[in-house]
Structure 1
Amino acid sequence: MRTILIRTLWAVLATALLVAVCYLFVDRAVSEAAFTLRDTIWHRGANALSQAANSVFFSFWVAAGLVLGGADALRNGLTPRSRAVLFVCLSTVCAMAVGESLKELCGRARPPLLFTKGVYGFFPFAGDYMHASFPSGHTLRIFSSMTALGLVLPRLRVPALALAVVVGASRVLALKHYPSDVLAGALVGIVAAIWCHALFRPGQPR
């Protein structure tokens, strides 16, 4: 557990540095490039792809997984199957809870505000959708679930994480988030899955 804590702290520090660099030198330039692709097939495709991590869809399948996994555990005990299902769902729930708290705390303006009003930066406790860019909710949802899935099914690890990366990138191309939002979302998702794995011990290969 101590090793995981130390690695988590290093990951947070490294990501914080990357976020700072992106905020100062990368975010606006990348978003301006993405803005030139608006109303193209690339923009529409990114919007469609990012729906793979839609909050309503994720809330539905997480709730379904918790119910089915819980029912299986009550009927047959905590088998490897029920533990794995509950682990994936709980990893996602934890990531979503942390992400929503950070969104409210940070209050980062979304890219559309940069192009319509010239607004860029953080406005803590702004409390509205257009100031809830950091971290990316879609990214943390897909990274937490796909990291957890890769931990219980190692053969799916590469395609699962590849899907997470593509969905995260799509949020930038869809002009919903800046690159640093996606980096932070990926960190939250991965850390949530790793810590839930260490604490929940789903009984599958690491």
Structure 2
Amino acid sequence: MTSANSERSQWTRLLILAVVAVALAHALDGVAWRSARLLSVNDKDWGRLLRSMGYLPTWGVIALGFWLQQRDHPQRSRYAWALLLGPALSGGVAEVLKLLIRRLRPNPDVFEYVFRPFAEGPLSNRGMGMPSSHVLVAFGGAAVLAQLYPRARGLWYALAAGCAATRVLALGHFLSDTVVAAVLGVMVGQWVWKRADVVPSS
């Protein structure tokens, strides 16, 4: 199998897995909305730590750390740019999709999907939740880190998943908002990695 065919096959498998995950998340939205609640999660140290994975300046600090550490490495700028661009582009994708999908955040009292008409604030995504910006940023960055340090990929994705959990627990998003964001974040992060053409570290 050629490299191109192998890559196409990999993306096909990822797409099938993504569709299944998104469908399952929508099926479980009601259960998560009723059962997974911890409104004080953002007041807890661990909650703030996990949520910060979806905070773009966090990735700016990480990118700067790579750039400083890899001072003698010929690809240090690519390392840094990939780590910054992955989350930044992911966040941009989230903001644009919110304007297009227009699904509002969960109502804490009634489980329902509510969509804002385009006639109401067509350029404002205030109160919209699909997909989660925090989670897209977190997974966009985790996908790049997973390529840079593949032996620790489980850790990077666990931190990003933790960010998603805090958004659901705080009733800031439906479960499906975060799963869609996770899928897109991984895709954006991997796309950025391929464009950066960075050689993985050992």
TM-score by structure 1 length? 0.75
Q: 1:105 to 1:2 in 2, by over 3 A?
A: farther
Point out the structure with the larger helix share: 1
- Does residue 1:160 correspond to 2:156, yes or no? yes
Question: What does 1:27-176 correspond to in 2, within 5 Å?
Answer: 27-35=29-37, 37-38=38-39, 42=41, 44-45=43-44, 48-55=48-55, 58-59=56-57, 61-62=59-60, 65=63, 79-111=74-106, 113=107, 115-116=108-109, 119-123=112-116, 125=118, 127-131=124-128, 133-176=129-172
Q: Deviations over 1:72-99 (max 9, x none)?
A: xxx98x9221111111111112211211
CA distance in 1, matches of 2:168, 2:78: 34
Q: Specify which of 28, 45, 49 is matched with residue 26 of structure 1.
A: 28
Q: 1:197 to 1:26 in 2, by over 3 A?
A: same
Could you tell me how far 1:18 is from its partner in structure 2?
Answer: 3.3
- Give, as a single letter, the amino acid of the residue that structure 2 aligns with 1:122: F
RMSD of aligned Cα (Å): 3.3
- Give, as a single letter, the amino acid of the residue that structure 2 aligns with 1:92: P
Q: Is the 8 A contact 1:141 1:189 kept in 2?
A: yes
Could you tell me how far 1:150 is from its partner in structure 2?
Answer: 1.9
Q: Specify which of 187, 193, 204 is matched with residue 200 of structure 2.
A: 204
Q: 1:122 to 1:5 in 2, by over 3 A?
A: farther
CA distance in 2, matches of 1:145, 1:124: 32
- Specify every segment of 5 or more residues in structure 2 that has no aligned partner in the other structure, as ranges: none
CA distance in 2, matches of 1:99, 1:169: 17
- Give, as a single letter, the amino acid of the residue that structure 2 aligns with 1:16: V
Q: 1:142 to 1:89 in 2, by over 3 A?
A: same
CA distance in 2, matches of 1:129, 1:87: 29
Question: What does 1:181-200 correspond to in 2, within 5 Å?
Answer: 181-200=177-196
Match of 1:18, SS state, is: helix
- Give, as a single letter, the amino acid of the residue that structure 2 aligns with 1:130: G
